[in-house]
């Protein structure tokens, strides 16, 4: 072969080797992601994030002042009613539900709010959001206190005094519902209590171990709660209370104290803490639990400390409305 042809063949062979080697190297090192435009990557990532996120629900604060359309002006004072469009006070004055699908839900109710200014103020200042406050009809300036509570996203309830087993030695007050009174008399007393406060979503019994156990005495009261669009919370002052059964049968939103009596029956920080731990166990078992305490300084401190680490333990504090109709019918 002539020298020129041999040189040309060698040059072609070298060129071919370079091309093949380059293709092999490109195949070995090529990453498809590197070929995407950076701006397009950012846009696509944003779209994926949006797709993965749950839709945002705008925060809806509890109305601070009572809604005029949900009030009936009577000789006794303003009473809650269902609006012309069917809106109930229960829905209107409920806080937004806490979104924590995997967490156990616990509601804490602090009763006797408004009776002593100092303890009421401390409860409002120290207790976490979503603690529920129940106001006594015998408190001073309770509408002002309740407005402060709702402004801070605390749901508000009204306490209804009911006859305890050892009445009159233990007397809840002049508006106490009694089994010896007629339904008309008890309704009159109850409406007198209900007119003392506005902007509440439901009621809780104050004492009442005897009255709540008397089904025929409780029935007209529960009919009144249903007609006025209110929730009923049974304080479990008696294991024989007919309130929860009547409420469920009549379609009244209901929640029940998860233990007989108060968390702070014994004014000991250690005992209250133990009761709160028991409440967590109940919530872990049933999904929901309710505890009731009073605004004693020792109780407020115990609840505040306990609630601070609640989410780390797989539970959340929720408003009482979120527990409505969620507890098992039998303990």
Q: Kindly report, residue by residue over 114-167, the tens digit of the pLDDT.
A: 999 999 999 999 999 999 999 999 999 999 999 999 999 999 999 999 999 999
With 0.85 as the threshold, say if the pTM is over it: no
Alpha-carbon torsion (119, 121, 124, 127), positive or negative? negative
Q: Percent of the chain beyond pLDDT 70?
A: 82
pLDDT of 225 > 70? The answer is yes
Mean pLDDT of 86-107: 96
Q: What is the β-pairing status of strands 231-234 and 156-162?
A: unpaired
Burial class (CB in 10 A: 0-12, 13-18, 19+), 223: middle
What is the tens place of the pLDDT at every residue in 265-323? 999 999 999 999 999 999 999 999 999 999 999 999 999 999 999 999 999 999 999 99
Residue-level pLDDT at 329? 84
CB 189 within 8 A of CB 160: no
Residue-level pLDDT at 38? 44
More confident residue, 36 or 202: 202
Residue partners of 126: CB distance under 8 A and separation at least 6: 300, 301, 304
C-alpha torsion angle, residues 311, 62, 257, 314 (rounded to 10): -10
Mean pLDDT of 169-180: 96
Alpha-carbon torsion (292, 293, 295, 298), positive or negative? negative
d(CA 242, CA 211): 9
232 φ, ψ (degrees, to nearest 5): -115, 130
Distances in whole angstroms, Cα of residue 147 to Cα of each of 116, 156, 202: 16, 9, 15
Residue-level pLDDT at 57? 60
């Amino acid at each position: 072969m002539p020298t020129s042809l041999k040189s040309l063949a060698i040059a072609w062979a070298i060129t071919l080797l370079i091309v093949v080697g380059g293709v092999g190297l490109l195949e070995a090192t090529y990453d498809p992601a590197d070929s995407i435009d950076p701006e397009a990557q950012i846009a696509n990532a944003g779209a994926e994030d949006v797709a993965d996120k749950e839709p945002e629900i705008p925060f809806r604060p509890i109305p601070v002042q009572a809604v005029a359309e949900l009030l009936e002006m009577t000789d006794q004072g303003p009473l809650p009613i269902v609006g012309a469009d069917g809106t109930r006070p229960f829905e209107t004055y409920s806080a937004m539900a806490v979104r924590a699908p995997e967490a156990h839900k616990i509601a804490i109710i602090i009763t006797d709010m408004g009776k002593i200014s100092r303890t009421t103020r401390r409860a409002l200042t120290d207790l976490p959001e979503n603690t529920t406050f129940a106001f006594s009809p015998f408190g001073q300036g309770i509408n002002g206190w309740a407005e402060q509570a709702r402004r801070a996203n605390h749901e508000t309830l009204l306490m209804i005094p009911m006859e305890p087993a050892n009445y009159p030695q233990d007397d809840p007050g002049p508006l106490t519902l009694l089994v010896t009174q007629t339904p008309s008399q008890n309704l009159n007393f109850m409406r007198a209590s209900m007119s003392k406060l506005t902007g509440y979503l439901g009621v809780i019994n104050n004492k009442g171990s005897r009255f709540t156990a008397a089904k025929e005495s409780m029935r007209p009261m529960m009919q009144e709660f249903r007609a006025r669009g209110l929730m009923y919370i049974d304080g479990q002052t008696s294991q024989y209370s007919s309130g929860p059964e009547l409420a469920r049968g009549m379609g009244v939103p209901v929640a029940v104290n998860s233990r007989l009596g108060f968390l702070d029956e014994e004014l000991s920080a250690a005992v209250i803490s133990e009761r709160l731990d028991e409440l967590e166990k109940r919530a872990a078992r049933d999904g929901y639990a309710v505890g009731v305490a009073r605004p004693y300084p020792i109780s407020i401190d115990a609840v505040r400390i306990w609630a601070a680490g609640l989410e780390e333990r797989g539970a959340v504090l929720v408003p009482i409305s979120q527990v409505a109709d969620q507890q098992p019918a039998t303990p």
